[in-house]
Copies of this chain bind each other. A is one copy, B any other.
């Protein structure tokens, strides 16, 4: 089973990487960009075939290693 994880900074947390991308886009002449937020995207190939168990395991992976839950949100898609 494949798990796709999006890890994004929580609202209100400063995103210097996103800001840098925004400035770079502006200096390249791309107007009309109001905000840029950069996050991480992780794809996992799991041997687990049970959806509920897979979600529980990936959730635990996010909380213990992949995301910093103080400043980041995570979202798991199984498919």
Contact size class for A? 20 to 34
As a 0/1 sequence over residues 18 to 30 of chain A, the CB contacts with chain B under 8 angstroms (1 = contact) are: 1001001100101
- Complex alpha-carbon distance, A56 and B38, angstroms: 20
| Interface positions of A from 4 to 27, Cβ below 8 Å from B | 6-8, 18, 21, 24-25
How many monomers of this chain does the complex have?
2
Contact residue among B24, B25, B32, B46 (Cβ-Cβ distance under 8 Å from A33): B46
Chain B residue contacts of A6, Cβ below 8 A: 41
CB distance from A7 to the nearest CB of B (A): 8
Beta-carbon contact of A34 and B43 below 8 Å = no
- Complex alpha-carbon distance, A21 and B18, angstroms: 23
